[in-house]
Copies of this chain bind each other. A is one copy, B any other.
Amino acid sequence: MKHSIGEAARLSGVGIETIRYYEREGVVPPPLRTGSGRRVYDDDGVSQLRFIRRCRDLGFPIGEIRMLLSLATERQRACAEVRTISERHLESVRRKIRDLVELETALADLHGQCGDGRRDCPMLGRLFGE
């Protein structure tokens, strides 16, 4: 089946402007065009877009999605390499979680010092002090 960019967007869950952005950035190949210049996507194109959206939902950066996509479309589906990429990404997600949890602790600690008064906030004092 052939689809307009709007249909492709609906089917894949990727916004129209974002699809064009991916094309500009070379994440997806440029699709065919109608005589009047409108983009035409086939089912494979839509699948690629859906794949990208799922990867983005998982927080993969564009560069790694590009790698995953080329592994996938070259039909190699090289598991070991996918494993490496997803492992690296998983590690970065876990690092972010650790950082945020640390931050949460510090923030909750500071926040806890705030009373209900209207002056001389201890949190501001701590942030300004030294």
- A interface with B by C-beta (< 8 Å): 47, 50-51, 54-55, 57-59, 68, 71-72, 76-80, 82-83, 86-87, 89-90, 93-94, 96-97, 100-101, 103-104, 106-108, 110-111, 114-125, 127-128, 130
| For the complex of A and B, 4 pairs with smallest distance between CB atoms | A79-B121, A83-B114, A77-B121, A86-B111
- Asked whether A103 and B50 contact (CB < 8 A) given A111-B83, A121-B79, the answer is no
Residues in B with CB closer than 8 Å to A107 are: 58-59, 86, 89-90, 93
Residues in B with CB closer than 8 Å to A79 are: 114-123
Would you mind naming 8 contact pairs between A and B with Cβ atoms under 8 Å apart? A50-B130, A59-B107, A77-B120, A79-B121, A79-B123, A80-B117, A80-B118, A97-B101
CA distance A68 to B119 in the complex (A): 13
